[in-house]
Structure 1
């Protein structure tokens, strides 16, 4: 029986339903409004965007919080992970969910069920903040787990006969896919370098794959999503191999085949069809090989490409000449471990048009690109078959204006192109790179025009993180030079120089520059990858080679300041990115290096063995008055010994290894006592009265506290005696201005920075440099060159001053108590002749900005602090006003702030 409600009751129900709907809509509206107030961006896994080959069993996730609300701190996070992207977005099929009341938003470790290999895991996150806001779920991101050894079913293949040809071999195979493709992933590596194509389309946009590692220990593979490359029916895969670092000329002495004498390819493509079935395409004995148009390719010497030898359509379906190709040969699997990528791939970046084309006094045709860069030139040409065009590369011209390549030593650094016929052709090399600003062109048919050449910068794909400008154009050019020195030398490994017959991962250069590198670019993955090679190539006695990967032979001397890379860079990366895992991964290596030094010491004094010392210190040509800044090498060794032990103490405390920290604390006291006894007079003078001697003693706290100020005064006296010039080399220079500022001599630090005559940072700038030079006087005031045997014009080590510029001029520092910029110190220190500085740093939490200017006798500072971070702002002088009179120190949360104070004495008015 139907029951009819009274009219009044119906009306009441309607009102109730309407009220409920309004409440629901209001709640939804307020929740949406709250979510709009706070957004999550910059999601990464293991320092990478959507990485494709994660080997870590507990990958770490990071995100940044974007909000306009001041003083915002995350109070909790919720992460969800699944293997189905669509389902995860709607909150279904969740594989793991992580909920925690925590401020941690950087490197949050996965803590769920065991991850399966070669599987894609999607993830997203939402957070709550201290204002009661809940963010919307972030965009869905992913990581792909790497392959286990047993997942590899492909076979290593190589050319059919002994691999002695200078030519680059081609490999091809056609496959028939009988169904519609849903997804496909290609896993590729090589002994040598590879360039892969599927159906005529280049796979990926990286170069020099699989990268340079300690090949005998581990070899990287790359993973590419090639779903869009394949189709139902016939498909063709084609791969070209180059010698690269594996088999080509490397190191000193013209050595070849250092890692092996045979190039090889390993590739498998795992296809998933729309019906759920799977198929694997892989290298095996059914592939074929032939030689192509690259008739010579070498890292140092360049490439020769004969377009007449091109095999049209060889990497596409239906290649008619397939029958003429040879059978491949199967290679035995090596002992090296195959590992996924932990650092960035090398990619193309900036392009430079030719500024001018001119004839030198010798009649050479030369192109000026205006910037010393690393990469190659893309060349357009048209001419008759057999026409040979040669591109030679140089960094500088002689004072007469002629092309100069003597400083390349034995490196030819030439790319040669042979035309195939009277048709438009575009050339660029495949397996080589050059360091250059100028290119000499020989044999070009017709008139060479600027639009025929484009210089392409090639370097590891690191995100730019730092910006730094001042009121002084010379300092701005110096910053430009520092950045381009880093770009040109961070080509998979941190090389010393990119142009001559060297291009090696010198450890001393890398440790000196690591802090500056972390301001300019995100080098977290770059150094994580390289430090694995430092550990892999470390000698059994604990010493670390001069270069990594080590291609210089069995030397296990362990030179101070070079081998200390094993402790310095892991600690620097921990400070810059808050990455505790790099300390865990490298701790045994760090310990082994310190124990090596201890084993070589007697009575806690390390005064044995070979050392480079303060490399390329000031050494005038005619040293009749004994002014060469020679610092006792064992004195330097004792300082770096102490520094590495101090790092061990700090790292051990971070990792909860307090017994080890206690052990090394006692050792550190003994090391410093031995230093004072051996190298300091009772009156406080050091036996080497050089700038480097005092800088290292003060930087590493080698002297009793009561003796430090007088030592700093002696350092200043030395600098003044040289007319406000530095005399330091690779080991003293990075710390010089830091020490001066720390001991209240900031004005002297500025005097050194602003010095324009040799030796100084600005001297090369005044001489037209666009990168950092290896030597303070790479080009002498009279226009002549330093010794050509060692005179690079793209060498980043002296660019280490960038660290001081960011930390002190702009004042951007990570608080040591909370590494990775969770806590920030903004403490600008203005100085002579500079009226403004503006800097920005993209930290793991978001952008930090510090920008100041001096106007009408007032120091004005603008600061931006990212969400989920806090900062201490320390003004340089007097009291400041920000609504009320305060001291010169303020604790602030996230947001934008403006401060003013009195102008410090000695600053620009």
Structure 2
């Protein structure tokens, strides 16, 4: 049979399509990232790491090989590296292995993969990254400062420079940092969307710079740069001892703009003595106290071309920064949610109050019309007192007030620049005319971490608890993990950070956030290995070495590895981990660490009317020994992952001695602990301090203690994170549910019932009669007790990494049904894609829904062994391709490849 032209064309197209289907896998490469970021700019990492995700319609998708190509300058530029086909299932943190990267250069990369059917994907879309400045000599700019100002308010310096861009611009990259904080504008437009830059590091060790592509902001001809500086953490009031100028007395700017023209020629604009300086509308700026902005002193147009700066002074040449300048890897602080007033209130004392309905961190933008010289004061508070009046006593010395002085020119808009407030309520004084809700907008600020986790259930109080946990994290993850965001503190307390880390890693992507903070922890660690209470350390070298606080040095790196599979951070922190264990070892006698200051089980429940001794404070040295053992175990774990076999042997022998010393000192022959508190038993059990034969009886004693308190907890900061995990481990999950569901004080739901929208510092920050705990330490946004979120994700929904694996490459899903819940669901965006676990109980039985991301697998443990009553999508499981591993011990164990699964157990 002869084919006509069109028939032959059709057959050719059909064969080509068939051939392409045979060649290419039914899998797409997506969500490419470089160092956890999408197309980052300003990386000073010599060998950045690439990650990607796979997507396909079929189940059980696995990667068997990959190929990466990297090009310099453009996707069609010079090839900088090709990996060739690498037989590997790795799709997370795959390192660049090409030649040396150049400073200030853009690189493009893409990847393709082969699946477990031998088929090759198409190339991914190109991602890119821009390198920072690798060498100190790459910096051509000079440090400059504003004119000295003797006033106590320290108005924010303004710095400006006009310059010529003689040709058409192909690219313009700005490198900026400051001692203090900065906001930059080019031709009147704000550079970037980050706030409180350059962020807070241990400034006496290292300082971050930021990189911006401002190509679209420049124009051929005249251009103008304007930069405003603020005190920030550098020289402002910091710490609760009223100290100032902790890092230095003078703030300053380092600015470098590298321009490449379309003809290939280059130019550089740098900060130097040719810049001009003055002051303007920001008369005072303090993190704790807020800002004073006087619009009468605004220098209109100062950041534009043609501004008359004849009255300005030359910029001052500032002393060079003598420590490391490093590019910013963690996500910047950005404006996030906005809230309009939920309620307008006139209090019994006549105060004008706005309730925004949510305790948050950020500031309030105000619109106003008035006369020249009118002064508006905005005060911030978390809560109203028993009588319904504005309450700020718990702020201690922090004023948390913004003062705005009007110029009288039409409508004026005010918002702060170099401060932040923790608040739900604002009090307004001096506002001209009627206070209308549309003139006030609350704006949140926090590190722009990617949301990764959600937990929901059939219990509205538990859902509000989850909301409060996440909002506590938002408010306190402001470049460093602060303890609280409102009073005169706001410090990176190590204890709070370590107890909350695992929960934090479910709610948001915190890998870069904590990798940055851990670097400062290692830098601020004392020479003897002791770890400060707060990082960056602004409390001095004597404020260090407390058990459960300093252990952030070991706990967070290890948990970061479990959550993300980030071996690089584990390697970078290993020396710090070892130094901390070494400090405890040096300060031990006969392997017993029983000296030094310790916070102990901070803010535990302390019933005033209890005289039988059950709630006695947990022995602080018992706690110290438990954390000594735990940190040693985590060091062993890290050494094993990193292939440090000699260290594994060394510290395994040490751990055996530490536990033997614990049992000699703190345990009777029958297994009773010298401290009878819940925390004592929780730590001893969670850290495996007791011989195997004594553990169950200890768990029974813990359970009895809880029952004696009417199913209430009595734990503080160190015992609370592990309490429900220990109960579940020893077969007492229903009691753990009772603790979670408890609504009366002390409990997680008591603050929820009292109207909390974040986690409180104390179990009874506000008492049942609406009076308050001691104001010296009573934050209403303090995330530590939110550590229960970890148990909700890992036990109720059951999402976890399989033991011996990290980063959700191998997944374990063990849902637990109880607590009167008939529904629960958790969703987690892993490095491989979306992972979820959902269960629902009704009269017919239990339904489970699971989603497993591509290039992973999951062992699923159902809490039933239903035999022929288990169905997938309405069909008997026996007809499914799902592999049943076992149906023993009253449960069913399944092996699931990637895909979406619906399973039902019929009663």
With normalisation by structure 2, the TM-score equals: 0.96
1:56 aligned to which of 34, 37, 45: 45
| Kept after mapping to 2: 8 A contact 1:190/1:264 | yes
The alpha-carbon distance between structure 1 residues 852 and 58, as it changes in their structure 2 partners (threshold 3 A), is same
**Whole-Å separation in 2 of the counterparts to 1:369 and 1:17:** 69
Following superposition, the deviation at residue 611 of structure 1 comes to 0.3
| Number of residue pairs the alignment of both structures matches | 888
- Range 894-903 or range 519-528, more displaced: 894-903
**Whole-Å separation in 2 of the counterparts to 1:594 and 1:15:** 81
Following superposition, the deviation at residue 814 of structure 1 comes to 1.1
Aligned to 1:245: 233
Post-superposition Cα deviations, 1:444-474, rounded to whole Å, max 9, x if no partner, equal: 1111111111101110000000011000000
**Whole-Å separation in 2 of the counterparts to 1:441 and 1:260:** 35
Aligned to 1:907: none
Post-superposition Cα deviations, 1:169-217, rounded to whole Å, max 9, x if no partner, equal: 0000000111011110000000000000000000000001000000011
Which aligned pairs between 1:835-846 and structure 2 lie closer than 5 A? Answer: 835-846=822-833
Post-superposition Cα deviations, 1:469-488, rounded to whole Å, max 9, x if no partner, equal: 00000000000000000000
- Range 894-903 or range 460-469, more displaced: 894-903
1:228 aligned to which of 189, 213, 216: 216
Mind listing any 5+ residue stretches in structure 1 that lack a counterpart? 1-10, 904-909
Aligned to 2:482: 495
| Kept after mapping to 2: 8 A contact 1:620/1:627 | no
1:895 aligned to which of 882, 888, 899: 899
SS in 2 for 1:735: helix
Following superposition, the deviation at residue 30 of structure 1 comes to 4.5
SS in 1 for 2:336: strand
* 2:736 is the alignment partner of 1:749: yes
| Kept after mapping to 2: 8 A contact 1:31/1:134 | no
| Kept after mapping to 2: 8 A contact 1:247/1:262 | yes
The alpha-carbon distance between structure 1 residues 33 and 99, as it changes in their structure 2 partners (threshold 3 A), is closer
Aligned to 1:209: 197
* 2:439 is the alignment partner of 1:435: no
SS in 2 for 1:372: strand
- Range 685-694 or range 625-634, more displaced: 625-634
SS in 2 for 1:868: strand
Following superposition, the deviation at residue 75 of structure 1 comes to 1.1
Which aligned pairs between 1:363-382 and structure 2 lie closer than 5 A? Answer: 363-382=350-369
SS in 1 for 2:361: strand
**Whole-Å separation in 2 of the counterparts to 1:251 and 1:128:** 54
Aligned to 2:871: 881
Following superposition, the deviation at residue 51 of structure 1 comes to 1.7
| Kept after mapping to 2: 8 A contact 1:823/1:871 | yes
Which aligned pairs between 1:70-469 and structure 2 lie closer than 5 A? Answer: 70-87=59-76, 93=79, 95-147=81-133, 148-161=135-148, 166-320=154-308, 322-469=309-456
* 2:25 is the alignment partner of 1:39: no
SS in 2 for 1:545: coil
| Kept after mapping to 2: 8 A contact 1:194/1:242 | yes
Following superposition, the deviation at residue 23 of structure 1 comes to 4.8
SS in 1 for 2:697: helix
| Kept after mapping to 2: 8 A contact 1:815/1:825 | yes
**Whole-Å separation in 1 of the counterparts to 2:351 and 2:530:** 48
Following superposition, the deviation at residue 790 of structure 1 comes to 0.2
Post-superposition Cα deviations, 1:63-122, rounded to whole Å, max 9, x if no partner, equal: 01111110000111111100132416xxx7454344301110000001111111221111
**Whole-Å separation in 2 of the counterparts to 1:228 and 1:77:** 36
| Kept after mapping to 2: 8 A contact 1:120/1:143 | yes
The alpha-carbon distance between structure 1 residues 428 and 557, as it changes in their structure 2 partners (threshold 3 A), is closer
**Whole-Å separation in 2 of the counterparts to 1:593 and 1:690:** 27
With normalisation by structure 1, the TM-score equals: 0.96
| Kept after mapping to 2: 8 A contact 1:163/1:263 | no
The alpha-carbon distance between structure 1 residues 697 and 302, as it changes in their structure 2 partners (threshold 3 A), is same
| Kept after mapping to 1: 8 A contact 2:369/2:410 | yes
**Whole-Å separation in 1 of the counterparts to 2:268 and 2:676:** 68
SS in 1 for 2:662: helix
Aligned to 1:569: 556
**Whole-Å separation in 2 of the counterparts to 1:63 and 1:634:** 46
The alpha-carbon distance between structure 1 residues 440 and 221, as it changes in their structure 2 partners (threshold 3 A), is same
| Kept after mapping to 2: 8 A contact 1:48/1:525 | no
**Whole-Å separation in 2 of the counterparts to 1:290 and 1:32:** 67
**Whole-Å separation in 2 of the counterparts to 1:653 and 1:16:** 67
| Kept after mapping to 1: 8 A contact 2:25/2:119 | no
Following superposition, the deviation at residue 126 of structure 1 comes to 1.1
2:657 aligned to which of 658, 662, 670: 670
| Kept after mapping to 1: 8 A contact 2:828/2:836 | yes
Following superposition, the deviation at residue 159 of structure 1 comes to 1.9
| Kept after mapping to 2: 8 A contact 1:557/1:609 | no
Which aligned pairs between 1:435-584 and structure 2 lie closer than 5 A? Answer: 435-555=422-542, 557-584=544-571
| Kept after mapping to 2: 8 A contact 1:691/1:732 | yes
Aligned to 2:881: none
- Range 851-860 or range 824-833, more displaced: 851-860
**Whole-Å separation in 1 of the counterparts to 2:147 and 2:472:** 42
SS in 1 for 2:85: strand
Following superposition, the deviation at residue 424 of structure 1 comes to 0.6
* 2:659 is the alignment partner of 1:659: no
* 2:681 is the alignment partner of 1:694: yes
SS in 1 for 2:613: coil
**Whole-Å separation in 2 of the counterparts to 1:355 and 1:591:** 51
The alpha-carbon distance between structure 1 residues 105 and 179, as it changes in their structure 2 partners (threshold 3 A), is same
SS in 2 for 1:734: helix
**Whole-Å separation in 2 of the counterparts to 1:17 and 1:471:** 61
- Range 54-63 or range 218-227, more displaced: 54-63
Post-superposition Cα deviations, 1:5-26, rounded to whole Å, max 9, x if no partner, equal: xxxxxx99x9999969955763
**Whole-Å separation in 1 of the counterparts to 2:15 and 2:724:** 59
SS in 2 for 1:635: helix
Which aligned pairs between 1:498-897 and structure 2 lie closer than 5 A? Answer: 498-555=485-542, 557-879=544-866, 880-882=870-872, 883-884=876-877, 887=887, 888-897=892-901
Following superposition, the deviation at residue 29 of structure 1 comes to 5.5
- Range 694-703 or range 627-636, more displaced: 627-636
**Whole-Å separation in 2 of the counterparts to 1:94 and 1:282:** 30
**Whole-Å separation in 1 of the counterparts to 2:668 and 2:753:** 41
SS in 1 for 2:54: strand
**Whole-Å separation in 2 of the counterparts to 1:352 and 1:491:** 19
